[in-house]
Chain A
């Protein structure tokens, strides 16, 4: 058994058959983390006591021969933007360095109720703002496939932990690509559920109309299993949708013959690395051979998605991050004399450069005199982007695109130019603006041996189709 490549089904069956205890499996993962995470930097906090207590609960069930829950004993990691009761939860920010979460995020609670063993909290860009994990206030994460390169962001720790063999799966959050892009850079699967499909209760908010919680895993089937566990209406999150949750894992293996796959020309234009284009075209050929109908579609407003996204996301962030005021959340600058002084100096000391940049940009876009030109305009173009997808989905069941214009870039390569970093999100932000589900699936390596991802986007609440096609794409490569 190689624990670095274990899937959920394999882990669960080892425990069910009592070849291995859940405790031993957790300890084996901690040993991997201790020996190699100094290089990778995926974890910010290990929650050993909590993990071992859960593992022992699972072992007692297994000893009695009781039926085991779907994630029994599966070691997972949690992106540090999700609350874990009694554990340090930082959002990758100096501001929350000493913050101890008072309750569990619903997604975390549901994972644990399904038997998962939460090993610890995973590094990320500060408040999930970034595409390289270099905005973590603590330390960057390195890509396990090439440690001179970034793992992507903002769920860089989540993708790296799954790729490096530190956790069988992980939770991430995706506001503009933060699950799918690091999954593509690290060679794992990243699933973006439909907006509202998974509760955000206990997610430290970045941009509330765009934030999604979702899984990163080693296979499409694992991501489907995780979605079944975490999805569904939650009374604690009024934006969680009251839409029935399907059984997603049985989609893996169902045939894709007759499905209509849309290829939007706007996602294959200038700026796309030719090797990535070739890798994706090979998979499209594979889907055609499997009986899919390949249809050219147009998403004509694609080129406007980045400006829309960075206006809407920063405007919402400027409001959401107002709560970090020096009163409630651990950080207050010393020796402040007045209330205004406390706000300013606490925020100055607590926030990193990218967070300040986005708060300023968002505040600017919402300020008197600029609201109509930027924020309102962006919301109007968001309507146009939504219509693009509505039109395309009258003709196709799913849309296939690249995840990223290039493979993982080097650490430091884009840190001096925020706009070039933002532009690397070109193929992922639109799904968040429109609210549709998507998945990033590995589709081979480039000439330098770096992973390449393919993205499949579906209709609202049609994760089933996305997963079915993703599984076909994954299996075709085996």
Chain B
């Protein structure tokens, strides 16, 4: 077993997830099963292979380098109409009518 209950608890903490003991047991088993398939990647020597995070720059912009590849995505820095405050707040569980309201952040 590569992944232990402690690892799952650590990762759940990073991801802000709360797991019941039953969920945690299930996740330990599932993650180990899944990660054992992922380890197949170690068969490949990738020491001289560049990582690819997204495909647009790899195929759509031959001859361009750096940020030139994404020049098409730039726009003028102008103020344009956006969502109104009331619509932006309309799905919030709690607001004061002006801002999102959340539980106390700083404990004294």
Contacts and interface: CB of A to CB of B under 8 A. Distances in A.
A255 B39 CA distance: 45
A251 to B, nearest CB: 21
**Which of B38, B42, B75 is packed against the most chain A CB atoms within 10 Å?**
B38
A351 B17 contact: yes
Interface string B46-63: 100111111110111000
Nearest to A461: B60
Given A330-B91, A374-B38, A381-B41, A386 B16 contact: no
A338 B107 contact: yes
B15 A360 contact: yes
Given A303-B40, A360-B15, A383-B49, A209 B54 contact: yes
Contact of A311 (B27, B38, B83, B87): B38
Contact of A304 (B7, B11, B34, B44): B44
Contact of B56 (A195, A318, A363, A419): A195
The interface size bin for chain B is 35 or more
A149 to B, nearest CB: 24
A74 to B, nearest CB: 29
Q: Which of A99, A325, A377 has the most CB of B within 10 A?
A: A377
B17 A344 contact: yes
Interface string A438-478: 00000000000000000000001100000000000000000
Contacts of B46: 377, 380-381, 384
A339 B105 contact: yes
Contacts of A342: 102-103
Contacts of A301: 44
Contact of B94 (A99, A303, A332, A376): A332
Given A239-B56, A356-B17, A383 B83 contact: no
A418 B88 CA distance: 37
B59 to A, nearest CB: 5
B6 interface: no
Contacts, number: 178
Contacts of B50: 380, 383
Contacts of B16: 322, 325, 340, 343-344, 347
Contacts of A434: 55
Interface in A92-135: 98-100, 102-103
Interface residues of A, number: 76
Interface in B1-33: 3, 7-8, 10-12, 14-19, 23, 26-27, 30-31, 33
B38 A339 contact: no
B104 interface: yes
A367 B14 CA distance: 9
Interface string A357-389: 101110111010000001011111111101000
A69 B33 CA distance: 52
A102 B83 contact: yes
Nearest to B12: A360
B31 A364 contact: yes
A307 B12 CA distance: 21
Contact of B17 (A310, A336, A359): A359
A327 B100 contact: yes
Contact of A329 (B7, B91, B94, B107): B91
A112 to B, nearest CB: 19
A235 interface: yes
Given A357-B27, A418-B30, A435-B58, 7 more contacts: A241-B72, A328-B91, A329-B91, A337-B103, A361-B31, A422-B37, A435-B59
